[in-house]
Structure 1
Amino acid sequence: MKINAFADVSLRALMVLAAAPEGGLLTTQNVADAVGTPYNHVSKAVAKLRMLGLIDVERGRNGGSRLSAAGRRVTVGQVLRELDTREDAAECIGPAGSCPLINECRLRGALARAREAFYRELDDVVVAELPTSRQMTPVFEAIGLRPGA
């Protein structure tokens, strides 16, 4: 199963924010640099994560983002369900029209069940528990932030 690019960036942003010092704020640019993704993409992900209540944002000169209480509890499965907007796991309906086999197609149902099984498997994985100090220390150092500070 492949997740979409927006979900990927959003999950990585949540992981970086989870690894930030308790109560610390990271700017969107800090997050973009940490995940190696253009600012515009991360900015859209931050806006969506805020809308979902997974992060808190403080505006202003010393502003930034941090995980909310809900963001500290959210699972990978929950995030993917929110961010995967595709109706079909396959391209049953596309710009060129519908698949000629779409009527009473059992493949669509099987793929939908497989996608839900994929998400269900990730329902026990809490995003905030994924990043480790060993993983994140070099990331924060590379972007000029002191880990744990």
Structure 2
Amino acid sequence: MQLTRFTDIGLRIVMRLAVAGEQPSDTTPMTTKDLARELAVPYTHVAKVVGRLAEMGAVHSRRGRAGGLAITDLGREAQIGWLARTLEGPGEVVDCEGSQPCPLRSACRLRGALARAQRAFFDSLDEHTVADLVRDPTGAVLLSLSPPPPAPPTDDAPGNRHLPQHR
């Protein structure tokens, strides 16, 4: 079973927001840009996931100068299986009815076995909440996240072309 990148990012976002504000220096709310930098994920991906998490009620998002993101009580106490199921959306592990339907679909036992395995996977994740996952040592690591350093300029960077060499 493999989760989509969307779900992976969503789980990391709720985990990070669950520990936000736990340090005395954390007085400003996190923004989508902050999360993108800290989690090393493209901003556009984070924005889409945050929108979905807000629709689900796991995250509160406020725009404007005093805006930012915060995890809700629902988000903090959410079962990981529920979050993953909801972020993944409906669907089976395999698509038997796609553009070229599987010739075994009318008598296949694999489809049912995979559906049971998928349910068991999500059910096992339901044994954990976001609050469980951010207990130390994970919480401490989440609080220590910082944006990756900027990439060093290369000789081919637009601003570095044909610069005179000073000695």
Give the structure-1-normalised TM-score: 0.87
Per the alignment, residue 129 of structure 2 pairs with 126
Please tell me the residue identity of whatever aligns with 2:76.
Answer: R
Judge conservation of contact 1:75–1:124 (CA < 8 Å) in 2: yes
- Any stretches of 5+ residues in structure 2 without a counterpart? 149-167
Cα separation, partners in 2 of 1:70 and 1:124, compared to 1, 3 Å? same
Q: Which has the higher helix share?
A: 1
Q: 113, 117, 129: which is aligned to 1:114?
A: 117
Counting only pairs closer than 5 Å after superposition, residues 24-35 of structure 1 correspond to structure 2 as 25-35=29-39
1:55 pairs with 2:55: no
Q: In the TM superposition, what is the alpha-carbon distance from 1:14 to its structure 2 partner? A: 0.6
Aligned to 1:93, what secondary structure does the other structure show? coil
Judge conservation of contact 1:14–1:128 (CA < 8 Å) in 2: no
Cα separation, partners in 2 of 1:29 and 1:126, compared to 1, 3 Å? same
Structure 2 Cα separation of the partners of residues 103 and 29 of structure 1:
48
Structure 1 Cα separation of the partners of residues 140 and 55 of structure 2:
31
Q: In the TM superposition, what is the alpha-carbon distance from 1:85 to its structure 2 partner? A: 2.4
Aligned to 2:53, what secondary structure does the other structure show? helix
Q: In the TM superposition, what is the alpha-carbon distance from 1:117 to its structure 2 partner? A: 0.3
Judge conservation of contact 1:73–1:126 (CA < 8 Å) in 2: yes
Please tell me the residue identity of whatever aligns with 2:85.
Answer: R
Per the alignment, residue 81 of structure 1 pairs with 85
Per the alignment, residue 9 of structure 1 pairs with 9
Q: In the TM superposition, what is the alpha-carbon distance from 1:62 to its structure 2 partner? A: 2.2
CA deviation string 1:56-104 (max 9, x = no partner): 111111211100110111011011111122522113232x321111113
CA RMSD of aligned residues (A): 1.8
Q: In the TM superposition, what is the alpha-carbon distance from 1:24 to its structure 2 partner? A: 5.5
Structure 2 Cα separation of the partners of residues 128 and 47 of structure 1:
21
Q: Structure 1 vs Structure 2: percent identity of aligned residues?
A: 38
Structure 2 Cα separation of the partners of residues 117 and 133 of structure 1:
27
Q: 96, 101, 104: which is aligned to 2:107?
A: 104
Per the alignment, residue 159 of structure 2 pairs with none
Per the alignment, residue 39 of structure 1 pairs with 43
